[in-house]
C-alpha cells in the first residue's frame, strides 16, 4: 500500500523552532526579501533524517508558487567526494545562463545535497556560482562545522535538528487521518518520536506499524517493545 507521508507544503513541516519557521515563512512571502544582499541560498543543517532534503524541495515549490508560478523545475545535485567541482559548476552555469521564462521568480532553482562531501577547495570554488543573481539555492548538510565560512556567509542558516517530541504530534495525527488509519495515543506518539531522536525514517514506519496493529485487531504491542526494531 502506498501511504501519503511526505510533506507537500511548509505547513506540513515540523521545524526545530518557531523562529526557524517564521524566518522561512518570511522569505517565502518576501516579508524578508530573498534573495537579497548577496544571500541567495539556504543552508539547512541538522541530524540524519530530520527532513532537510525533503524540505529543500518543499521550500522551492512554496517560493515559486508564492511568486505566482506553478510547480518549479529544480536541479538536484547530490554532492559526491569523487565528483569534479569543475563539472558541477560548468553544468550549473550552463543552466543558469539560459533565460528563465518558466519561473515566476525569474530565478533558476538548485539543490546541493550533502554539501559537506565536497572538499574545502571545492566548496570555495562553488562560491563563484553562488554569487550569481539569477539563482536560488538550497544546500543541506549533517555537519555544519565542515562548511566553508564563505559558503555560510552567502546563505541563510536554518537549524533542522530535532525539536521537542510533543511538537511532532499534530503532524503524526494528520498522517494517520490522511491515510485513514486508527488514531494512536499522543503518549505512544511521543515515545516513538523520543526513541527515534526526530529521525523521520524511523518515526514513520513505527507509527504506521502501530496504527496497523490497531487496525487489524491484533493484540496491542507495547510502544517500547515495538521501538526495539529500530
Pairing of strands 41-45, 108-113: unpaired
Angle separating helix axes 186-196 and 200-215, nearest 10 degrees: 150
Domain match, 92 and 129 both:
yes
Which pLDDT score is estimated for 215?
64
Q: What phi, psi does 7 have (nearest 5°)?
A: -70, 145
The tens digit of pLDDT for each residue in 172-208 reads 999 999 999 999 999 999 999 999 988 999 999 999 9
Domain match, 195 and 151 both:
no
Q: Are 36 and 158 in contact (CB under 8 A)?
A: no
The tens digit of pLDDT for each residue in 102-122 reads 899 999 999 999 999 999 899
Whether 99 has a pLDDT exceeding 90, the answer reads no
Using 50, 70 and 90 to split pLDDT, how confident is the model at 84? Answer: confident
Whether 222 has a pLDDT exceeding 70, the answer reads no
Which pLDDT score is estimated for 218?
53
Whether 69 has a pLDDT exceeding 50, the answer reads yes
Buried b (16+ CB within 10 A) or exposed e, 131-152: ebebbbbbbbbbeeeebbeebb
Which pLDDT score is estimated for 44?
98
Domain match, 56 and 108 both:
yes
Task: Assess if residue 7 is contained within a domain.
Answer: no
Domain match, 31 and 86 both:
yes
Task: Assess if residue 6 is contained within a domain.
Answer: no
Residue 37 vs residue 218, higher pLDDT:
37
* Residue ranges making up the domain that contains 206: 165-229
What is the CATH number for 147? 3.40.50.300
Domain match, 149 and 190 both:
no
The tens digit of pLDDT for each residue in 120-176 reads 899 998 999 999 989 999 999 999 999 999 999 999 999 999 999 999 999 999 999
Q: Which of the residue ranges 75-79, 96-100, 156-160, 190-194 would you say has the lowest mean pLDDT?
A: 96-100
The tens digit of pLDDT for each residue in 15-24 reads 999 999 999 9
Task: Assess if residue 73 is contained within a domain.
Answer: yes
Instruction: Tell me the average pLDDT across 23-37.
Output: 95
For residue 83, CA distances in Å to 52, 77, 117, 129, 159 come to 22, 11, 10, 16, 27
Domain match, 204 and 184 both:
yes
Q: Which of the residue ranges 24-33, 64-73, 209-218 would you say has the lowest mean pLDDT?
A: 209-218
How many structural domains comprise the chain?
Answer: 2
Name the DSSP letter for residue 127. H
Task: Assess if residue 1 is contained within a domain.
Answer: no
> What are the respective helix, strand and coil percentages of the chain, to the nearest 5?
50, 15, 40
Domain match, 144 and 47 both:
yes
Residue 58 vs residue 85, higher pLDDT:
58
Report the C-alpha dihedral over residues 62, 66, 69, 73, rounded to 10 degrees.
-30
Domain match, 151 and 38 both:
yes
Amino acid at each position: 500500500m502506498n501511504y501519503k507521508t511526505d510533506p507537500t507544503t511548509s505547513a506540513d513541516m515540523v521545524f526545530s523552532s518557531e523562529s526557524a519557521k517564521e524566518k522561512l515563512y518570511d522569505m517565502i512571502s518576501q516579508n524578508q526579501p530573498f534573495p537579497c544582499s548577496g544571500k541567495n541560498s539556504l543552508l539547512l543543517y541538522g541530524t540524519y533524517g530530520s527532513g532537510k532534503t525533503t524540505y529543500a524541495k518543499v521550500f522551492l515549490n512554496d517560493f515559486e508558487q508564492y511568486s505566482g508560478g506553478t510547480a518549479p523545475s529544480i536541479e538536484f545535485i547530490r554532492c559526491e567526494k569523487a565528483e569534479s567541482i569543475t563539472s558541477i559548476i560548468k553544468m550549473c552555469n550552463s543552466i543558469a545562463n539560459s533565460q528563465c521564462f518558466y519561473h515566476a521568480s525569474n530565478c533558476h532553482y538548485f539543490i546541493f545535497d550533502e554539501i559537506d562531501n565536497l572538499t574545502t577547495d571545492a566548496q570555495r570554488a562553488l562560491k563563484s556560482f553562488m554569487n550569481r543573481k539569477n539563482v536560488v539555492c538550497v544546500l543541506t548538510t549533517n555537519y555544519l562545522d565542515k562548511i566553508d565560512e564563505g559558503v555560510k556567509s552567502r546563505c541563510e542558516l536554518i537549524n533542522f535538528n530535532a525539536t521537542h517530541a510533543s511538537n511532532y504530534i499534530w503532524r503524526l495525527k494528520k498522517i494517520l487521518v490522511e491515510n485513514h488509519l486508527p488514531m494512536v495515543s499522543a503518549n505512544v506518539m511521543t515515545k516513538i518520536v523520543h526513541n527515534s531522536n526526530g529521525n523521520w525514517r524511523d518515526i514513520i514506519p513505527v507509527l504506521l506499524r502501530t496504527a496497523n496493529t490497531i487496525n487489524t485487531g491484533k493484540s496491542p504491542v507495547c510502544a517500547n517493545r515495538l521501538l526495539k526494531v529500530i
